[in-house]
């Protein structure tokens, strides 16, 4: 449910590491409830851009706000209003499923009642009611990723950042994962997602493609295919990234 | 505060659930105390010796009696010829052979002197040295008692007294050293591994994106280890007391206070290592090679610092455990108060501040 309110806006956002420019004056807006695909080859600057938006890195220059807060001055407020799930695994293998939920609920400041409520809702949705006391390490990867996503949006953030969330997951689970993303977006959560799977790029409302630190294209997948005269996002990506 | 508490609880769950961590945390201190306490001893009990007595008179008999009844020696063999001496050493059991010349008593009384030859197996030099000094002491003692009986001219006697550790028991020395070692192991090694583990599996990134402040993450990571290392100190002290009868004359409060400062120094080292190391293995190697080894060798734990070359003596000053050892021995064995150890305490505090400042600078808050 995309609404016409900017939840993320970046203007000429730049990050240099010495003489290397990781992201070069990137400018874009993400609307509320939008699923925004952030594509690019390895090393194109996606991770750097995402780190600046989540408050892990300070930009060298340019402006950016996330959920209405400035990335320079209000990083702490941004952190309270976003969810994050990384390409590396985000939950603790040596904790049980319930302990993981309690832990993340706790660090995002949820009350015990809220955690209890959220954990029941979450386990029900994932059909894991009976496995709450099982160690996370006993779950298959796809389930872990779905759980990690549910945990990342448990505190009802305004934006959720997903850094290659479906890496190594089978196509069926990926499809289910995207159903979950759609559901959150429908409820008004803005989704900022990086991926290498071009079929997933087709699921996004809008897609930006980064090449060598710059955003080379930004539009709805349908438009991009039309502009670049391609049948699939895969073709678009290859044409741009080469 | 609740966020923070949840973080600490999670840390404890992780520790208690990992068997290897538990073994290192609780098995290691006890195992090390037992090993150091029983196996590695400088003092000797029941060293096997042999006599080659060519005189067999009442005096040599008395000396032999005195040696064997001293607890330090036990009789391994009575040799009959010079040729048997080397055989006895080669057998490996006999560490010392004592040879009395023929007509021992007669010569001593008539000529005013008789000879005893002591041969020790110096393939273990420390042992040989100790054996020799014990033997000479006992023989000297016998001589003194002879002099008393006959009214010979008084001889100047020096009486040696070893204070604080009268029996020169090495366990007394090992316990403070062991505490230092365990604290370093638990605080520096385990903490650095725990922090790099989060980096390695990627959860650190998630934590840094969360509303938890970096300082809360660090403190949350170290607090469980701080508490557990206190538990270790107490266990070692109790074991030392009950199993090895190591005395504790000083103030417990002062001791725990100093231990706390040393623990914080070790923790700051652990944080420093984790801010440099990217993987658990790297953290482990750095802690082992950079901390544990120098601590064992250069802190005065096993080798006396005063016997080291000057360069190493200087170098030993930057090893926190050296200062902790001086303080711990002072409090445990001599019962000294704060007025005697404030300098060393100040040095430890300085080290803590130094390390924690560097690690705060190094810990990349924003990855």
pLDDT tens column, B119-173? 888 887 777 878 888 888 888 888 888 776 665 544 455 555 556 666 556 667 7
Q: What is the mean pLDDT of residues B178-195?
A: 87
Q: What is the pLDDT of residue B366?
A: 42
B12 touches chain A (CB under 8 A): no
pLDDT tens per residue across all 242 residues of chain A: 567 788 999 999 999 998 899 999 999 999 999 999 999 888 888 889 998 999 888 899 999 999 999 999 998 899 999 999 987 778 898 999 999 999 999 999 899 999 999 999 999 988 888 888 899 889 888 888 899 999 999 999 999 999 988 888 888 989 999 999 999 999 999 999 998 888 888 899 999 999 888 998 899 999 989 998 888 888 888 888 77
ipTM of the complex: 0.86
CB-based contact (8 Å) between B17 and chain A?
yes
Place of tokens 């409302």: A205
Answer whether A105's CB lies under 8 Å from A154's CB: yes
User: How far apart are alpha carbons B259 and B262 in whole angstroms?
Assistant: 5
Q: To probe the interface with B, which of A53, A60, A107 has the most B CB atoms within 10 Å? A: A107
Nearest CA distance, A222 vs chain B (angstrom): 33
In the numeric block, which tokens belong to residue B28? 């290691």
Stretch(es) of chain B classified as CATH 3.40.1710.10: 47-149
Contacts of B312 (CB under 8 A, 6+ apart): B298, B305
CA atoms within 13 A on the CB side of A20: 7
- For domain B47-149, say whether CATH 3.40.1710.10 is its number: yes
pLDDT in tens, B314-327: 988 999 999 999 89
Domains in chain A, number: 1
Are the CB atoms for B26 and B73 separated by under 8 Å? no
Q: Is the pLDDT of residue B209 over 80?
A: yes
Name the residue in chain A with its Cα closest to that of B2: A106
The Cα B256–Cα B264 span in angstroms is 12
User: What's the rounded mean pLDDT across residues B112-119?
Assistant: 84
Tokens of A68: 């209405």
Residue B182 confidence (pLDDT) above 90: no
Which residues in chain A have Cβ-Cβ distances shorter than 8 Å to B213? Answer: 76
What DSSP element (H or E) covers B75? strand B73-78
Contacts of A90 in chain B (CB under 8 A): 202-203, 205-206
For the stretch B224-267, pLDDT in tens is: 999 998 898 998 888 888 888 888 888 999 999 999 999 999 99
Phi, psi of A155 (to 5 degrees): -90, 20
Helix axes B125-149, B58-68, angle to 10 degrees: 130
Strand A190-194 and strand B47-53: pairing? unpaired
Name beta bridge partners: A206: A36
Nearest CB to B205 within list A86, A91, A106? A86
- Percent of chain B scored above 70 by pLDDT? 90
Decide if B18 touches A, using CB distance below 8 A: yes
pLDDT beyond 90 at B28: no
Determine, for residues A103 and B202 on separate chains, whether the beta-carbon distance falls below 8 Å.
no
DSSP symbol at A73:
T
Smallest Cβ–Cβ distance between A95 and the set B10, B202, B208 belongs to B10
Residues of A in contact with B17 (CB under 8 A): 94-95
Task: Name which of B211, B278, B365 to mutate to probe chain A: the one with the most chain A Cβ atoms within 10 A of its Cβ.
Answer: B211
Contacts of A161 in chain B (CB under 8 A): 209
Q: How far A239 CA sits from the closest chain B CA (Å)? A: 33
**pTM for this prediction:** 0.76
Domain ranges, residue A170: 3-241
CA atoms within 13 A on the CB side of B225: 29
Going by their DSSP bridges, the two strands A61-66 and A69-70 should be labelled as: antiparallel
Q: Do B7 and A103 touch (CB under 8 A)?
A: yes
Q: How many whole angstroms separate alpha carbon B210 and alpha carbon A29?
A: 23
Q: Is B298 or B168 the better-scoring residue by pLDDT? A: B298
CATH number where A222 lies: 3.40.50.300
């Amino acid at each position: 449910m995309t609404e016409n309110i900017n939840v993320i806006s970046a203007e000429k956002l730049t990050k240099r590491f010495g003489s290397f420019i990781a992201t070069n004056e990137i400018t874009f807006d993400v609307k509320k409830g939008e699923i925004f695909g952030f594509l690019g080859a390895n090393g194109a600057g996606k991770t750097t851009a995402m780190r600046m938006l989540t408050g892990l890195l300070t930009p060298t220059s340019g402006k950016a706000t996330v959920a209405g807060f400035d990335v320079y001055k209000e990083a702490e407020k941004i952190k309270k209003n976003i969810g994050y799930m990384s390409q590396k695994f985000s939950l603790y293998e040596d904790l049980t499923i319930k302990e993981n939920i309690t832990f993340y609920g706790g660090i995002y400041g949820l009350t015990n009642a809220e955690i209890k409520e959220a954990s029941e809702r979450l386990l029900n949705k994932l059909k894991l009611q009976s496995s709450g006391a099982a160690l996370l390490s006993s779950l298959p990867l796809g389930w872990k990723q779905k759980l990690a996503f549910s945990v990342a949006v448990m505190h009802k953030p305004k934006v959720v950042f997903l850094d290659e969330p479906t890496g190594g997951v089978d196509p069926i689970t990926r499809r289910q994962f995207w159903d979950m993303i759609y559901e959150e977006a429908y409820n008004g959560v803005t989704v900022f997602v990086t991926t290498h799977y071009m079929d997933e790029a087709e699921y996004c409302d809008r897609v930006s493609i980064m090449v060598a630190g710059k955003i080379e294209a930004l539009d709805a997948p349908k438009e991009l295919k039309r502009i670049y005269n391609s049948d699939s996002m895969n073709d678009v990506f290859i044409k741009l990234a080469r | 505060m609740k966020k923070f508490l949840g973080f600490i609880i999670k840390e404890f769950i992780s520790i208690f659930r990992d068997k290897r961590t538990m073994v290192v945390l609780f098995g290691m201190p006890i195992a090390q105390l037992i090993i150091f306490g029983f196996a590695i001893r400088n003092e000797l009990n029941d060293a096997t010796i042999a006599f080659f007595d060519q005189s067999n008179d009442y005096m040599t008999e008395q000396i032999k009696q005195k040696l064997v009844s001293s607890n330090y020696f036990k009789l391994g063999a009575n040799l009959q010829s010079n040729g048997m001496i080397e055989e006895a050493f080669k057998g490996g059991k006999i560490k010392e052979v004592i040879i009395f010349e023929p007509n021992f008593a007669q010569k001593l009384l008539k000529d005013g002197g008789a000879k005893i030859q002591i041969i020790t197996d110096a393939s273990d030099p420390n042992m040989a040295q100790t054996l020799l000094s014990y033997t000479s002491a006992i023989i000297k003692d016998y001589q003194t008692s002879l002099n008393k009986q006959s009214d010979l001219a008084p001889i100047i006697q020096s009486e040696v007294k070893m204070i604080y550790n009268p029996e020169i028991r090495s366990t007394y020395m090992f316990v403070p050293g062991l505490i230092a070692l365990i604290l370093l192991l638990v605080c520096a090694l385990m903490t650095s591994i725990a922090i790099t583990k989060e980096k390695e599996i990627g959860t650190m990134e998630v934590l840094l994106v969360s509303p938890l402040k970096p300082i809360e993450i660090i403190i949350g990571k170290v607090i469980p280890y701080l508490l557990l290392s206190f538990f270790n100190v107490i266990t070692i002290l109790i074991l030392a007391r009950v199993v090895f009868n190591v005395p504790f004359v000083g103030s417990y409060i002062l001791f725990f206070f100093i231990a706390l400062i040393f623990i914080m120094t070790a923790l700051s080292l652990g944080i420093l290592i984790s801010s440099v190391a990217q993987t658990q293995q790297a953290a482990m190697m750095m802690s082992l090679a950079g901390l544990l080894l120098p601590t064992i060798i250069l802190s005065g734990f096993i080798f006396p610092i005063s016997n080291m070359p000057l360069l190493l003596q200087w170098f030993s000053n930057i090893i926190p455990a050296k200062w902790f050892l001086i303080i711990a021995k002072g409090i445990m064995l001599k019962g000294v108060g704060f007025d005697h150890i404030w300098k060393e305490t100040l040095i430890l505090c300085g080290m803590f501040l130094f390390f924690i400042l560097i690690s705060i600078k190094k810990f990349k808050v924003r990855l």
